[in-house]
Each structure stands twice: as C-alpha cells, then as structure tokens.
Amino acid sequence: MYRGFIRLVFILALSCGTTVGANNGVCADDVCSGTSCPPGSFAFLIDGQCTCTAGSMLGTITINPDPFIVGERVAITLRDYDLVLVEETRESVDIVVTSTSGESETVTLTATGTNSPDYSGTLATTFSVTAGANNDGTMNAQNGDTLTASYVDTTIFSGGPETVTDTALALSKEGSVHTSGEISIAPKPVTVGQPVLINVTDADLNADGATAEVVDVVVTSTTGETETVTLTETGLDTGIFAGTLDTIIALSAGADNDGVMNAGNGDTLTAHYLDAATAGGGATTVTDTTDVELDEKSVVGRTETVISNFMSRRADLITSAEPDLASRLTGGGGGVSGSPFGFTADGNSSRFTSTFSTSLSSLATARQTAGSSLAFFGEGGSGVSDADGQPRAPRPAFDFWASGHWAHSDDETRSSTFGQFNLGADYLVIPSLLVGMLAQFDWMDETDDSNNTSADGFGWMAGPYLVARLHQNLIFDGRVAWGQSDNHVDPLGLYEDKFSTNRFLARGQLTGDFRRDKWRFSPHVALIHFQEEQKAYVDSLGFDIQSQTITLGRVTFGPEISFVHKTRDGTEIEPSFGITGIWDYDQAEVFDIGTGLANGSSSDLRMRLQGGLAVRMPGSASLAGDAYYDGIGADDLEIYGGSLKLRVPIN
C-alpha cells in the first residue's frame, strides 16, 4: 500500500508542469507542494520525506578511491531513483568493471536500505602485468591501469537506455607518484653465443613488497625476429627486474618466441618496455639497443680446428687402408692367399671395417683350377709360391686388380664413415720386378653431436709403384702418389663451407719370408709419409680461413711367427703370433674443439699384439681369424678388435 502511494505521487509529479518560475520549483499538485527545489528538479515523497531529484532521473555511479592502491578493494556506489520510483524496489543491481588491460569483472551492488535509490559493493584487486580471467571476482591491475565502472540506466525521464560510467586510476603503492621506467640491454656490443642481460627499473611495478613480481619485455632484431622475455624482480621490494636471452649464430631470423635469438655479425637487438604510467602521465615505450658482433678469432679458430681434426682422422684411415703391394709379386695379388676374391671383416663394439680384393690373374687361376683356360696378354716368370712353399702357376705379365676398404665408427657423440677404392694395373718386367700404376679414391663423412659440427669430403690420389724381390726371402714394395680432395665443413651447425686440399703420399716396406720346416718367420719394416694441405678460403660469415697442413709420418716394424700343422686328411692348421711396433715420428694430432688441447695418445711409440688361426682345407677353401690389442705403452690409447677371413674357390 505504501509503495503504491509513492508511485502515485511520482506520477502526479510528472504531470505537474510547473517546475520553475512563479512557483519557484514548487509543484502545486504534489503532496510536497510546500517543498522548495532548485530549478530543473522535482520534489518527491521518499521514505516519508520530500526529496528533490533531477528531472532526467539518470542514475549516477562512482568508484572509489580514485586513485586506488593495487591490492586493495575498490568501492562502487550507484544512485538511481528509477529503481525506487518507477520499478518496485530492487535488492541488487549488476554493473560491469573493465580495465585498460582488457579484463572484465561483473560486480553485484546491494541496496543500502528499504526503498533506497542507493546501491553499493566492492571489487578486490591484485597486482599483475597481464589481464586475468574475466569474472573471477578479482581484477588484475598494475600501476597506471584504469578501471571503468559502467551502469546501463534503462528507465530515465528523457527516455532510455543510457550508460553512465566512472573511472579510477591504479597506483603501485599508497602515496606513490608515477615514475618513468627505464630499460637497458647489455653487453654493448654482444658477442653471438653469449646471453644478453635485460634490466627494467620502474617503481610503479613494485605493487607488493612481499612478492618478487615479473614483467614482460620484447626484444627485436634487425632480421625481423621477435622474442618475449620475462623479467623477474631482483628482490622482494626493489622495483628492478632482470632476465636474459640466449643468442646463437645464424644467417637469418629464427622462429619468434622460441627462447633463443638468432643473430649474425652486424645485427642490432632492441629491447622494448611499455611503461603504462610515466611521471608526466600517460603511457610510453622505452627502448635500448645493442649491436651484435662475432668473435672472429673464436669462429676462425673453431673452423680451422674442425677442418684439421677431419683431415687428421682421414689421414690415419687412408694410411691404414694401404693395399698389400708385396702380394702382387708373391701371391698373385688377388684375394686372400691367392683366391679369386678376398673379403675380410673386422670389428668391435664401436667400429666395423671390411676389405675386399680381386684381380684378373686370380680369377683366371680359379678358372684354370676348375678346368677352364683363360688367355692373357702374356706370361711372366715363376717365383710365385703357395703358403706351403709349393710352386704355383706363373702370373700373367700384365694384370689388373682392385681392392677396397670400408670403415664405420660410432660412439656416444661422434660417428664417421670412411671408404676407399683402389684400382691398379701392373707389369711383370722380370720375375723379380713388377712395376705399376695405382689410382685410389676415398670418401669420408663425420658428425660430432657434442660440438654440433660435421664434415665430409671426396678425394683421390694416383701414382706409380714397384715391387722387387731383393733376395729369395726379402721383398721390397714402394709407391708415391699425388692428388686432391673437395670437402664441406659445418663448424657451427648453422652453415656449410667448401674447401679443397692437395695431397702427397710416399710409402716403402721391406717384408721377409723365412721358412724352416713347418715354421715361418715374417719380419717387416715400413715407412709411410702422408701430407695434405688445406687451401685458404673465405667462409660464409666473411672471415678468412687460413691454409693449414697436416702431416702423418709413421714407421711400423716387427715379426710374425706361424706354425703349419697338416692333418691326415690334408687340412692345414696354422696358428700365428705377431708383435708390431708403431712409431709416429710426425703425429697428425686431433684437438679438443672447446679447449684447443690435443686429444689422443701423447706417446710417439706404442706396441700392438696380434694372434690368429688359419685353417686351409683340401680344395683350397680356407678360414682364418685373428684378434689384436693396440695401445701397449700408450697410457691414453686402447684399441682392440678382430677379423675373419673366408676363402671359397670358384669351381
């Protein structure tokens, strides 16, 4: 009944046309006709009292305090007579509070009393440099953010709806004055591969003295790459924020926001910080820059080390894969023990090697053994014997032969593959002298995952050789060769350079073959010298890579002793034992890429033990195996392995 009376009074008031002038703002038809109101307003009976209100009846909203301290609750009040006079009294009203960060919170305001046009509520705030989830009950804010409270008034005197708003500014702490932020990026210049340090100083961000806050900054490069870096306050109440960004060498921009900035020589990095509230008011972006440079000495040194290591390891493999030239005179130069085709395999837990050999003469001998004949260019002299000392058919004057070597090694960090193919032609001048030409081709690739490097190359050498019987029991063989190689190297895991080399090889060996009854004594001494010069070039970064030469000089010597035992069925069983001394008078050293210190054995002289067992069955089929241990006398070298040789005649 009472509420209905108020609504009636309001209607009567709206019908009263005298608001100003002679009546001095008094509506004669209103029960509050005796109440004097300012021009443009009306008197209404509210809660039993005559109250003057604006004629538009537009609600008002207020957010306090302004400014407010982040972390405190803000109070929001609403006054709208419409909610009392036009509508039945409402207990609550929902309004919306938004932030310049983009976050939105709905706040429910509650009526302050019965038939009251006033409503109030609060909203919690917390410090954050980013917007929070919408409508989670707490507004994220940082110094300089602006909160806007909005109310949509749907019932007003002039017709509706209309939105009314009020704003409040966020401060970092009570009594604070906005400070202008500063940003720095160091060092200047920065060397690629080193992290850059980014600092932001802004007291406005220090909202909570009990928490180490964070702030995001953006780092851009002249290449176009962008990285967002999160800085953390250096203490609980410092207002200083620090963080780092890693850099890697690259010739082009990398993926945005992957945590690493690609950089090259001459690039510029710029750090950006958006200061939302400066001392002078408003927002601005502050920046700082640093130039990028490469440590030329470091890059060049690393590149030259990777190349040198690659060439040194290849030189060791090339010299280890030397063909058995003495057998060209003593054993027909074919496969294993004169077989038409020879194959060996040798390996251990981390490496595997295999070899093969064949020749036209050995193939012809196999066919002749099977009852066929094969004509050759001519016949040479005698002097060729089997392992048991029995004379064999003379070899042809001209002969062609081929052999190959393949090796693969793989450990936890580095893998390599090497192959070599030899192609030769020779002429038996006299039974005790053979001359020929040898061409060899080699290829190698290796990858070092621990250092993120790789290299590969293809090369060749060619030159003459000779084999001479100096004495009935003494054979000399020697050769020289010249050649080149074309190679690729990736010293940083980012780009690939090309380089070429010139090569030279010289080798000489004396081999003895002394037999007494069932015993055989085979001493040898050999010298090999290999030299390879890398040509200078300009790398992909524009740096000069100087020429360098690696040299490997090695002398091997030692005896091998074997004993032949024949069974009743004609099977031969031959155990053998050998010891070899290895003296590197000129080492092709391998260096640690990180430290530059030499790896491998520091000893010039070491020993190798080898033992084997061969079984030759009637019909010329044979099986042989051996094992070796290398590294005696070298504290930091240990190599071991074995091989298996199978001979099957062609029938």
**pTM of this structure:** 0.59
Max mean pLDDT among 172-176, 380-384, 613-617 falls in: 613-617
Task: Residue 650: name the closest of 414, 386, 407, 370 by CA.
Answer: 370
Confidence of residue 57 (pLDDT cuts 50, 70, 90): low
pLDDT digits (tens, 9 = 90+) for 596-643: 777 765 567 888 898 888 888 876 677 777 777 877 877 666 666 666
pLDDT at 19: 33
Residue 7 has pLDDT above 60, yes or no: no
CB of 196 closer than 8 Å to CB of 242: no
Dist CA 318 CA 505 (whole Å) = 10
pLDDT digits (tens, 9 = 90+) for 400-452: 999 888 888 887 778 999 999 999 999 999 999 999 999 999 999 999 888 88
Tell me if residue 82 falls in helix, strand or coil: helix
Dist CA 24 CA 26 (whole Å) = 6
Task: Residue 376: name the closest of 388, 368, 384, 387 by CA.
Answer: 368
pLDDT at 13: 39
Average pLDDT value for the chain = 80
Dist CA 445 CA 449 (whole Å) = 13
**Which CA distances in Å does 2 have to 6, 42, 88, 221, 423?**
7, 20, 12, 73, 120
Question: Which has more confidence, 139 or 348?
Answer: 139
Max mean pLDDT among 265-274, 322-331, 499-508 falls in: 499-508
Q: What is the token pair recorded at 258? A: 């992957």
| Residue range 43-68: mean pLDDT, rounded | 72
